[in-house]
Amino acid sequence: MTNISLFFATNNVHKVEEVTALLPDFFQIRSLESIGCTEDIPENEPTIAGNAIAKAQYVHDKYMVDVFAEDTGLEVDSLDGEPGVYSARYAGPQRDSIANMRLLLQNLGDKKNRNARFRTCMALIKDGQIHLFEGIVEGTISSELSGKEGFGYDPIFVPAGHSKTFAEMSLKEKSQMSHRARALNKLIEFLSKNPDKRNPQI
């Protein structure tokens, strides 16, 4: 298998760690820092897919590299799909995960329907073309925070068929079923079937 290296349009160390752990040996992530991209990448689109595309487009247009980006949202049925695209900023622009979770639990209250899902969209820009991959994992919202692993809403999300939150699972356990893993596997499959014939190092 031809080695693949690709820029990941994020400065979120947790996302880099999680995605890196999922990659096969022939796939390496290249850091944005190596091309001097240390700025906050805009996330102003009204949809999760739109944000993923916008972040990839920002890095591609400014640095002229092939790149992939992702955006993830938690969708709670009883809250009409909130927080959705605003997941990271649910409790305000400070992006405080604890505040986000506490606000969500407050808004959910004692509603019986606690069904929710994590949705990840990954956008790949390769040879100037945009490709989109989606991963979804269904689950429920717990009544309180539990676990110290993971990040974001992991301490209150229990994936379907399990009794532990994502934050109570090891990275290996979470990676076997996570939304991010499902989207990434589709991206890897696409790249494996569509190598860059002009340059094996994408």
pLDDT tens digits for range 96-143: 999 999 999 999 999 999 999 999 999 999 988 999 999 999 999 999
What span, in angstroms and rounded, lies between the C-alpha atoms of 62 and 56?
10
- What is the predicted pLDDT for the residue at 43? 86
Residue with tokens 């305000």: 92
Which structure tokens are listed for 36? 């001097």
Q: For residue 197, is pLDDT > 50?
A: no
Indicate if 71 belongs to the active site: yes
pLDDT at site 202: 34
Beta strand 4-8 pairing with 115-126: unpaired
d(CA 112, CA 114): 6
Among residues 34, 40, 96, the alpha carbon closest in space to that of 65 is found at: 34
139-166 confidence digits (pLDDT tens): 999 999 999 998 999 999 999 999 999 9
Q: What tokens appear for 91 in the block?
A: 């409790």
Q: What are phi and psi of 46, to 5 degrees?
A: -80, -5
- In this predicted model, which residue has the larger pLDDT, 134 or 13? 134
Residue 200's pLDDT is what?
Answer: 37
pLDDT at 201: 38
Sorting pLDDT into bands at 50, 70 and 90, what band is 88?
very high
Per-residue pLDDT tens digits for 161-182: 999 999 999 988 998 899 999 9
The pLDDT confidence band at residue 199, using thresholds 50, 70 and 90, is very low
CA-to-CA distance for 120 and 178, rounded, in angstroms? 9
- Which structural domains are found in the chain, ordered by start? 4-193 (3.90.950.10)
Annotated catalytic residue within 25, 61, 66, 71: 71
What is the pLDDT averaged over residues 180-192?
A: 92
- Check residue 150 and give its pLDDT: 87
What pLDDT does residue 12 have? 82
pTM (2 d.p.): 0.90
